[in-house]
Amino acid sequence: MMFSKKHLVWLIWYGERRRLRDHGERYAFCFLRHRSSMNFSAKDRQDEVRTALFCNFSPRTLSIATRFVGQRRSRMQGPEPNRVPAMSGLNSRVVADMVRNGDAQSVPIGADYAEIVVVRHGETDWNADGRFQGTLDVELNEIGRRQATAVGERLSREGKISAIYSSDLKRAFETANLIAAACGGLEVIKDPGLRERNFGELQGLQRHVAASVFPEAYKALQSQKTDQEIPGGGESIDQVYQRCTTCLRNISMKHKGERVIAVTHGGILRTLHERACPNQESVKFLNTSVNIFHLSDGDDWVFKSGGDVRHLDQIEYLRTGFGGDRTSG
Q: Which of 69-83, 96-110, 154-168 has the lowest mean pLDDT?
A: 69-83
Asked if residue 252 has pLDDT above 70, the reply is: yes
The string of DSSP codes covering 258-302 is -EEEEEE-HHHHHHHHHHH-TTSPPPPB-TT-EEEEEEETTTEEE
CA–CA dist 121, 43 (Å, integer)? 25
- Who's near 44: CB < 8 A, 6+ residues apart? none
Amino acid of residue 219: K
Please say if 121 is a catalytic residue: yes
Q: Which of 84-88, 109-113, 191-195, 202-206 has the lowest mean pLDDT?
A: 84-88
Q: Is 120 annotated as a binding residue?
A: yes
Tell me: the pLDDT tens digits for 301-324? 999 999 999 999 999 999 876 543
- Banded pLDDT at 106 (limits 50, 70, 90): low
Q: Is 291 annotated as a binding residue?
A: no
Q: Is 121 annotated as a binding residue?
A: yes
Asked if residue 182 has pLDDT above 60, the reply is: yes
- Output Rg (C-alpha) for the chain, integer angstroms: 20
Burial bucket for residue 317 (CB in 10 Å: 0-12, 13-18, 19+): buried
Q: Which residues of 206-245 are buried (b: 16+ CB within 10 A; e: fewer)?
A: bbebbeebbeebbebbeeeeeebbbebbbbbbeebbebbb
- The residue from 121, 255, 265, 311 that is catalytic is 121
pLDDT at 50: 55
Between 155 and 90, the higher pLDDT residue:
155
CA–CA dist 192, 194 (Å, integer)? 5
pLDDT at 223: 96
Cβ of 157: how many Cβ atoms within 10 Å? 10
CA–CA dist 7, 15 (Å, integer)? 12
- Helix, strand counts (H, E) of the chain: 11, 8
Q: Is 198 annotated as a binding residue?
A: no
pLDDT at 109: 83
- Banded pLDDT at 241 (limits 50, 70, 90): very high
Q: Is 26 annotated as a binding residue?
A: no
Please say if 265 is a catalytic residue: no
pLDDT at 315: 93
Q: Note every long-range contact of 215-224, with CB atoms under 8 Å and residues 24 or more positions apart, other chains counting.
A: 221/326, 222/326
pTM for the full predicted model: 0.72
Residue 276, CB-side half-sphere exposure with 13 Å CA sphere: 25
Q: Which of 45-54, 170-179, 275-284 has the lowest mean pLDDT?
A: 45-54
Tell me: the pLDDT tens digits for 16-68? 444 343 444 554 554 444 444 444 444 444 555 555 555 555 444 444 443 44
Answer yes or no: are the C-beta atoms of 256 and 121 closer than 8 Å.
no
- The residue from 115, 196, 201, 316 that is catalytic is 196
Quick one: angle between helices 43-56 and 24-36, nearest 10? 120
pLDDT at 297: 86
Which residues does residue 285 pair with via DSSP β-bridges, in sequence order?
322
One of 3.30.750.210, 3.90.1150.10, 3.40.50.1240, 3.30.70.260 is the CATH number of 83-318, namely 3.40.50.1240
pLDDT at 81: 63
pLDDT at 41: 46
pLDDT at 304: 96
Between 86 and 134, the higher pLDDT residue:
134
Domain ranges of the chain: 5-68, 83-318
Asked if residue 195 has pLDDT above 60, the reply is: yes
